[in-house]
């Protein structure tokens, strides 16, 4: 109870220099209102863990263009020329991680595992500075888990105590990041009375969610 707050209050608890996991895939399933408020409040020096940076002006791309991100751990930046420009100009530190490996590192962080073994990247630059382990004659990279101080999550539907469900592919990284974030801040397209979401449909349980952004009339679409 008492998890619902407005977006200004939620973002106000995020300090400059914080580490954030942000759900979404090319803007789909991205917590747009939270990102907009981060840009408005001008939180800088952030480390962002996300699948991608979308495009300029869209999703995490807004944070990149505003110069809020100092370090980025991501799967790809190919659709955002501004991220590429900042990386080449050494304005942002980018760690590129194969997409499946990124998902499993986040999962490991959320489930308390010491890491994951992956054959992806063996014999390439991905292997640099990483521990390797041979099992049954096959070489694996030891990939360390990822966690963040805050996880910013987008849901399709929430109830008043913070149970979440997602719509189709907008689910993507959101449930994994909710598990791996120290403070989980969720925004939802709609908030319904507790009990409306069937228990079997709950994808992120309320016990994981710390703050839920209430719907504001001037933001409804």
Structurally, the chain folds into a number of domains equal to: 1
Residue 121 maps to a domain: no
Residue 220 maps to a domain: no
HSE of 151 in the Cβ direction (CA atoms, 13 Å)?
29
Residue 25 maps to a domain: yes
pLDDT value, residue 54: 94
Contact 3, 10 (CB under 8 A): no
Q: Residue 59: give its domain's CATH number.
A: 3.40.1080.10
Residue 132 maps to a domain: no
Burial class (CB in 10 A: 0-12, 13-18, 19+), 148: buried
pTM of the model: 0.92
Residue 1 maps to a domain: no
Q: Taking the chain (221 residues) in consecutive chunks of 10 residues, what is each chunk's mean pLDDT?
A: 86 96 93 96 96 94 96 95 96 95 96 94 88 94 97 95 94 96 96 93 96 68 38
Angle 60-70-104 from CA coordinates, rounded to 5° = 65
Residue 186 maps to a domain: yes
pLDDT value, residue 128: 87
Domain with 23 in it = 16-113+146-215
Angle 13-158-104 from CA coordinates, rounded to 5° = 75
């Amino acid at each position: 109870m008492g998890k619902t707050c407005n977006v200004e209050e939620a973002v106000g608890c995020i300090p400059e220099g914080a580490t954030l996991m942000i759900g979404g895939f090319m803007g789909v399933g991205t917590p747009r209102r939270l990102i907009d408020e981060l840009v408005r409040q001008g939180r800088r020096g952030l480390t962002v863990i996300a699948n991608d940076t979308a495009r300029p002006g869209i999703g995490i791309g807004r944070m990149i263009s505003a110069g809020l991100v100092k370090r980025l751990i991501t799967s790809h930046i190919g659709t955002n020329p501004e991220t590429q420009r900042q990386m080449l100009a050494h304005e942002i530190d980018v760690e590129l991680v194969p997409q499946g490996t990124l998902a499993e590192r986040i999962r490991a962080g959320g489930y308390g595992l010491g890491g994951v073994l992956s054959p992806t990247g063996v014999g390439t630059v991905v292997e640099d500075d990483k521990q390797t382990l041979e099992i049954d004659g096959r070489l694996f990279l030891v990939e360390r888990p990822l966690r963040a101080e805050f996880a910013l999550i987008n849901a399709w539907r929430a109830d008043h105590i913070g149970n979440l469900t997602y719509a189709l592919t907008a689910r993507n990284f959101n449930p994994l990041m909710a598990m791996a974030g120290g403070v989980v801040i969720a925004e939802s397209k709609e908030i319904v009375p507790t009990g409306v979401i069937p228990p079997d449909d709950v994808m992120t349980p309320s016990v994981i969610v710390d703050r839920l952004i209430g719907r504001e009339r001037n933001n409804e679409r």
